[in-house]
Amino acid sequence: MRLMKPRKGGGLGPMLVLALALCLGAEARGSDDIHEIRADAERLWQTLAAMPYAARGSGPVLYTFEFSECPYSQQFYREWNTRLEGIEVRRLFFAVSQRSANETAALARSRDADDYGAFMEGRKRAPRVDDPRLPAVDFNRNVDHFNSVMGPVNEVVQPILRSNGAITGGLISPTLIWREQDKVYAAGGYELEHVATITARIQAAARDTVSER
């Protein structure tokens, strides 16, 4: 999608930089669809921790990358939004369209999990991120929020996931990234039992960490 440059006075707005994205089908998934991030795992994890996520819950951390127009992100939201007890879910949108660009910037600005739910359910509409009618200061604030997500996605998250075989192009919606003790894992796409396997692994790793102390 777009990375954006600040606007000075009456200058031009967005600058196009392609960010490929896939919204995969919900075919059956198993352990072969879970990828350990061996190269640059700590850089990936530290980058995620510094991004403007919207968090809910407590416990071991699960990062998700989604966009509200994706039917599999919608299914993930409907079937798992209230079933992730004992896990801190850190939600991030990413941009593949005008609507998702608007929501990416809005969620980065608010960092509010209620906003995430409102966008997923269509109860709230994000303002246009690159509205040419905005004063330069407001336009540039939008640029900063948008780039706070899409900059790390393009420059760190996607390249590391690609180099570790977790994706072949751009981010998959949804993409899940988590830790099991000192190892980082990623998985993309959606199927209910596959997410059940992932959440069970996250919780088991957390219990093992506690028992080792």
pLDDT at 71: 95
pLDDT band at 13 (very low <50, low <70, confident <90, very high): very low
Please report the sign of the dihedral spanned by the C-alpha atoms of residue 143, residue 16, residue 98, residue 148: negative
CATH superfamily of 2-8+22-211: Glutaredoxin (3.40.30.10)
Please give the model's pTM, rounded to 2 decimal places.
0.88
Listed by start position, the domains of the chain span 2-8+22-211
**Secondary structure string (H, E, C) spanning 119-150:** HHCCCCCCCCCCCCCCCHHHHHHHHHHHHHHH
| Spatial distance between the Cα atoms of 172 and 125, rounded to a whole number of angstroms | 23
φ, ψ for residue 169 (rounded to 5)?
-125, -110
Amino acid at 8: K
- Confidence check: pLDDT of 34 > 60: yes
Instruction: Say yes or no to pLDDT of 17 above 90.
Output: no
Residue predicted with more confidence, 86 or 15 = 86
